[in-house]
Structure 1
Amino acid sequence: MIPTLAGPPVIEFDGVGLTYPGPPPVPALHPARLRVSRGEFVTVVGPSGSGKSTFLNVTGLLDRPTEGVYRLDGIDTAALGEADRTALRGRRIGFVFQSFHLLPQRTAVENVMLAQVYTGVPRRRRRALAVEALERVGLARRMEAAASRMSGGERQRVAIARALVGEPSLLLCDEPTGNLDSGTAERVLGLLEDLHASGMTLVVVTHDPGVAARGARSVVIRDGRLTEGLTGA
């Protein structure tokens, strides 16, 4: 297991819950406590409708909890206005989605560069950082290929490079192998494990127990309730 680094937890839930207003009110995430330290690889597993999307949206600062305190890198996110929440999300969280969300006619390097458009990084520097991120995921030779001409595994690696380019504190992955065949999924999981070995903090949301077992720690969500699962391999 990779030793965690000093400092506050990357994720700290203190009684965090989310209830959608009614009538009748719908508790989508029951009050939960969760701590993810820097350098951990945590998977969150549960069936469809269990609350994984709500957990993802709260953790990713896309939805505000209706109760409790969520600290990201020690920062109380409830105390932030929307502009500051958006800025914090952009600086501290890299997202990887099941469906890639790439612009098909743009090249790999252009797709990664687009993630930096609103960060204030000069264009020349954006390209250098994009190239570095693509090299990190093993796509140095494919960076000028259009996304539409890449395989599913290559497109997911571009998506991971895009998530990494801002050097986030947290890589938050939503079913990252859901659209991939088993062989390609294995390679993507291997890449995520390599990133964890380099010190990246990973939270992978999945319905697949096999993917969940790849984490060093697993959390189960069912009916909107988080519980600690079994330790992975």
Structure 2
Amino acid sequence: MSGGEGVARPPVIEFRQVALTYPGPPPVPALLPCELRIEQGEFVTVVGPSGSGKSTFLNIAGLLDAPTGGRYLLDGIDTEALRDGDRTALRGRRIGFVFQSFHLLPHRSARENVELAMVYNDTPRAARADRARQALEQVGLGHRLDAVPTRLSGGERQRVAIARALVSRPSLLLCDEPTGNLDSRNAESVLVLLEELHRSGMTVLVITHDPAVAARGARTVTIRDGVLDERRDEPVDEQDEQDERDEQVTV
């Protein structure tokens, strides 16, 4: 083989017995040692109740916190060996964040809000406006470049936030409860957009407490009491369930 054919790309996310314990006294284990691989182009959802460890997982995956045990490889890069400045730079290049709260500056236009994401990376100033326009067009807001957030719907504001996350062309789109502040119609439009981005090749990781949102992923991981679990529940057979109810009624 030549030209690099057949060379496997490393996973976007690889946890090798990753764990995090907050110091005490007493120490509090927030994430127990776990294994996880998320390959390039996957759409993975992480679901769990409040207090289950989702925020800890997010902070580790997003390079906001370093694990206290195990190794985390992002795009094959061992993050344990990185200094703080290198970790920050890697996060800015490889991860795009989308949060429940949109975190948009209210008196800046959609394009200006997206441009701000490029201030601290290597994007030349002259290229920022065009890159921001392209990102907004990618999320279907090419016609709203100059609108300020107060003139946008909730769904449009989240689309601006997604454009801001995409503008640096990251390896991973990391979404924390991205529909949490939206009504059902706008939530559906954002989920459809995430599915479209996934089909275009983007690696998407959505953290949610909502099983209906989690079901949109091609894979679902659960967290409960700090335990990461990829085992899926067996699908419910509706006819079997009805037969069981009928049997209970006739007894």
Give the letter for the 1:133 counterpart.
A
SS of 2:24's partner is coil
Instruction: Give the structure 1 partner of residue 45 of structure 2.
Output: 43
Give the letter for the 2:26 counterpart.
P
5+ long unaligned stretches in structure 2: 1-6, 234-251
Instruction: Describe how 1:4-153 pairs up with structure 2 within 5 A.
Output: 6-153=8-155
Among 181, 184, 195, the alignment partner of 2:183 is 181
Alpha carbons of 1:61 and 1:192: their partners in 2 closer, same or farther (altered >3 Å)?
A: same
Q: Please list every run of at least 4 consecutive aligned residues from structure 1 whose deviation after the TM superposition is greater than 4 angstroms.
A: none
Among 204, 214, 217, the alignment partner of 2:216 is 214
Give the letter for the 1:217 counterpart.
R
d(CA) in 2 for partners of 1:9, 1:169: 10
SS of 2:206's partner is strand
5+ long unaligned stretches in structure 1: none
8 Å CA contact retained: 1:105, 1:147: yes
SS of 2:105's partner is coil
SS of 2:118's partner is coil
Give the letter for the 2:174 counterpart.
L
d(CA) in 2 for partners of 1:160, 1:218: 21
Deviation at 1:189, TM superposition (A): 0.1
Deviation at 1:53, TM superposition (A): 0.3
- Cα-to-partner distance string for 1:114-149 (whole Å, 9 max, x where unaligned): 000011212220111000000000001111001121
d(CA) in 2 for partners of 1:96, 1:53: 14
Instruction: Give the structure 2 partner of residue 170 of structure 1.
Output: 172
d(CA) in 2 for partners of 1:181, 1:102: 19
- Cα-to-partner distance string for 1:169-199 (whole Å, 9 max, x where unaligned): 0000000000000011000000000000000
8 Å CA contact retained: 1:217, 1:230: no
d(CA) in 2 for partners of 1:171, 1:120: 19
d(CA) in 1 for partners of 2:201, 2:232: 22
SS of 1:23's partner is coil
d(CA) in 1 for partners of 2:41, 2:8: 10
8 Å CA contact retained: 1:6, 1:38: no
8 Å CA contact retained: 1:153, 1:185: yes
d(CA) in 2 for partners of 1:192, 1:122: 28
d(CA) in 2 for partners of 1:191, 1:121: 25
8 Å CA contact retained: 1:111, 1:162: yes
Moved more, 136-145 or 121-130: 121-130
TM normalised by structure 2 equals 0.89
Deviation at 1:229, TM superposition (A): 4.1
d(CA) in 1 for partners of 2:168, 2:212: 29
Alpha carbons of 1:218 and 1:90: their partners in 2 closer, same or farther (altered >3 Å)?
A: same
Report percent identity of matched pairs: 72
d(CA) in 2 for partners of 1:168, 1:6: 19
d(CA) in 2 for partners of 1:135, 1:202: 19
d(CA) in 2 for partners of 1:164, 1:59: 17
- Cα-to-partner distance string for 1:38-74 (whole Å, 9 max, x where unaligned): 0000000000000000000000000000000000000
d(CA) in 1 for partners of 2:130, 2:232: 41
Among 192, 195, 204, the alignment partner of 1:193 is 195
